[in-house]
Amino acid sequence: MITSKKTRLLLAAACAALAAHALPPAAAAATDTADVQLVLTGLRNGEGQVVISLCTVEDKFPSGCRKSQTVKAEAGVVKYVFKGLPAGQYAIAAIHDEDSNQRLTMSAAGWPAEGFGFSNNAISRSGVPDFKAAAFDARGERTVTVQMRYMR
């Protein structure tokens, strides 16, 4: 039992300070999900489509993502929103599939012949970055901008 008046006042002040920073129930529930707006920049033309893959840490990044979307390509900027995702860590891989064959076309020399990009604009000397390099935290509303890269 708290007997000191000073101790009771300090405890009351601490509880008031914590309550002031606590999220109201509606705001707390809103952070359980995420809407991720993806902004792809630098598309060199409007040919074909853009294939966007959204991965969780459990997926094999970037080719084994369980969630993907195909959108029409537009020169310059393409936007897409993933709505109602469980809050957490994600990584995005995107390809500008100019020939609409649902995969990244490679040149005879083994270089990508189409545009590609990753969240955090992650790059790797071996080509494809790992999940950790491309990962971002998604809670509430989040915008992720990816610069598309072209090797030719």
pLDDT per position as a tens digit, 47-72: 999 999 999 999 999 989 999 999 99
CATH of domain 32-147: 2.60.40
3-state DSSP of 64-123:
ECCEEEEEECCCEEEEEEEEEEECEEEEEEEEEECCCCCCCCECCCCCECCEEEEHHHCC
For the chain, which residues score pLDDT lower than 50? 1-2, 6-28, 30
pLDDT of res. 29: 52
Dist CA 86 CA 84 (whole Å): 7
Predicted local confidence at residue 99, as pLDDT:
97
